[in-house]
Amino acid sequence: DPVQDKQALLDFINNISYSRSLNWTENSNICTSWTGVTCNNDHTRIISLRLPGIGLLGTIPPNTLSRLSAIQTLSLRSNAINGPFPSDFSKLENLTQLYLQFNEFSGDLPAFFSVWKNLNVIDLSNNGFTGSIPTSISNLTHLSALSLANNLLSGEIPDLNVPSLEKLDLSNNSFTGSVPKSLQRFPVEAFAGNNLSSEIAFPPALPIQPPNAQPTRETTKTKLGEPAILGIAIGGCAFGFVVIVVLMVICYSPKESEDGLPVKSPKKKEGSLKIKRVPESKETKGSVVFFEGCNLVFDLEDLLRASAEVLGKGLFGTTYKAALEDGTTVAVKRLKEVSVAKREFEQQMELIGGIRHENVTPLRAYYYSKDEKLMVYDYYEQGCVSAMFHGNRGEGRNPLDWETRLAIGAARGIAHIHTQSGGKLVHGNIKAANIFLNSQGYGCVSEMGLATLMSQIPQPAMRVAGYRATEVTDSRKATHASDVYSFGVLVLELLTGKSPIHATGGEEVVHLVRWVNSVVREEWTAEVFDVELLRYPNIEEELVEMLQIGMACTVRMPEQRPNMPDVVKMVEDVRRVNQPLSQNNSEISFSTPTPVAAEVGHSSAQQ
């Protein structure tokens, strides 16, 4: 451990208040376990500290962070730090990136910029800095991005001759005079919202926008409605009296040319997120809320800068894969049609986010504003079980092992969910697309408890509708018993290799549960199994046991279905009894009907 750096951080954190819990304990290893801290390769110094959005409040205690003399990246974004710019930061001579935006700093900008010879990115936007821009910024020969937007800066903009500068944002201050020649290569938006003279010789091709022109909410809505746009809209967070609060709307549109991106990311990639800022009112104000145990360090700015990819659209919204700049990838679900009030939404998020179980996908953070509701999950590289299902076939796999572990995990996860909120929490949307595999290959259920937040839920696609118990006519009224039914359908899907509702060659629509029951009733049980599974020896008993579980869970009468803890025991027993599995690939034959029809006859009769 870098002992002195560790002490500097402890002195810092013990002398400032903060609201989000941090795992910084004296006995733990600072380089491997402290949130937001990165050390150099030999763990002798801290080179990066990132504490965005952890609710830091007050002034930075002097002689604390300034002792981290090897630090290169310092991010204290989106907190509520106030007071003047810390003068002792002049000792941080190795700084390359400084992010202090969305705080409540006030007073003059430091005059000592020249000490940071390697400084590449400065973002001091959205604070309350006053005074003028120090000319020492001109000495920063590596500077590529500078944002001082949304402050109270005034005076003339100095002729900053910094050829390396690629991104500049000085908008929404009180600068006067004209834009100096050296900066006229930047778009007009970089200077919008100031009192600058209008005789600026911007290249004629640039769209001239009147100062203070901000997109209206109507504009935003129209844009989001356009088919070309794939976007996440995120409201900005800010604290304190400096009323420079933004709602950030991220849009991706290849045709769009406006870009509110303040700094960093000088190179635009296809598919990267673009940010639009619109003034935020009390109503639209929102902030990212993180849950305990979240070791991810990101804030809105990170999300906004992330390159995003649409993973798919579901009943409750669209899910994006967002690659953050620090290499972390998260899945961001943008909810639509949320009808409940903020308080109720937050309560449900707190309930869901508080669940920590190895078979339940953890909700890492959420965001609520009037216009946008987002949920942030870990990203599963392998995709959901539904996507994996076909990829997992063929030679060389352990027959049924995959299916069984998946089912055991999913059952345990659902059973755990059913114990939450005094036994009132229901998953409500069990299906293969909402199940992932955890690191041990066991099922992990995701996206619980969303239906109750929605004003209306569109009819599920036919394929998905087959998971829904017949007694559930409104998805918002799902029950423990209907979760059991959906789980049963999942089991049948795994065993048969068929979708819950599918069309046959003759385009006849087949309901999986009914089909399985009819085949079993006709004593052709072997016919239901996926031919892929039938290639393996010695698993028929296990297959049949699993089939019985699937059928028991999907009986028509909800009160006759087993409860989830019982289902867990049943699925676990299948594996226990039949261990170990043979890896032999010889053919097996079900030439005669198995006794399963008699054993499960009771269930099938009800379908």
Ligand X SMILES: Nc1ncnc2c1ncn2[C@@H]1O[C@H](COP(=O)(O)OP(=O)(O)OP(=O)(O)O)[C@@H](O)[C@H]1O
Sign of CA dihedral 79, 80, 84, 87: negative
Question: By CB under 6 A, is residue 447 in contact with ligand X?
Answer: yes
CB nearer ligand X, residue 23 or residue 382:
382
| Terminal alpha carbon distance of the chain | 64
In three-state secondary structure terms, 473 is coil
Minimal distance in Å, beta carbon 379 to ligand X?
A: 5
Q: Enter the tokens of residue 267.
A: 């190179």
Residue 448 contacts ligand X per CB under 6 A: no
Q: How far is the CB of 358 from ligand X (least distance, A)?
A: 15
Q: According to CB under 6 A, which residues from 318 to 347 bind ligand X?
A: 318-319, 331, 333
Work out which of 377, 467, 529, 536 binds ligand X, going by CB under 6 A: 377
Amino acid at 450: L
Contact map string, positions 110 to 149, toward ligand X, x by CB under 6 A = ----------------------------------------
Q: Which is nearer to ligand X, 434 or 499 (CB)?
A: 434
177 binds ligand X (CB under 6 A): no
Token code pair at residue 179: 């834009």
The footprint of ligand X on residues 280-319 (CB under 6 A) is 311-316, 318-319
Query: Is 342 annotated in some ligand binding site?
Result: yes
Size of the site for ligand X (CB under 6 A): 22
User: What DSSP element (H or E) covers 521?
Assistant: helix 512-521
- Give min distance, CB of 372 to ligand X, in A: 15
Q: Closest residue to ligand X, Cβ-based?
A: 314
Amino acid at 257: S
User: What secondary structure, in 3-state letters, does 111-179 show?
Assistant: CCHHHCCCCCEEECCCCEEECCCCHHHHHCCCCCEEECCCCCCEEECCCCCCCCCCEEECCCCEEEECC
- Nearer to ligand X by Cβ, of 318 and 479: the residue is 318
Closest to ligand X by CB, 34 vs 316, is 316
- The residue among 213 and 465 lying less far from ligand X, judged by its C-beta, is 465
Stretch that binds ligand X, among 100-108, 130-138, 376-384, 559-567 (CB under 6 A): 376-384
Classified as helix, coil or strand, 455 is: coil
Task: Give dist(CA 314, CA 300) in Å, integer.
Answer: 23
Rounded to the nearest whole angstrom, what is the least distance from the CB of residue 457 to ligand X in the complex?
9
Cβ within 8 Å of residue 505, ≥6 positions away: none
Is the omega angle on the peptide bond into residue 580 within 30 degrees of 0, that is, cis?
Answer: yes
Q: Which stretch binds ligand X (CB under 6 A): 91-99, 186-194, 378-386, 558-566?
A: 378-386
C-alpha pair distances (Å), 312 with each of 192, 230, 384, 473, 498: 37, 11, 11, 25, 21
- Residues marked as binding? 342
Footprint of ligand X (CB under 6 A): 311-316, 318-319, 331, 333, 377-380, 383-384, 387, 429, 433-434, 446-447
- Residues marked as binding for ATP? 342
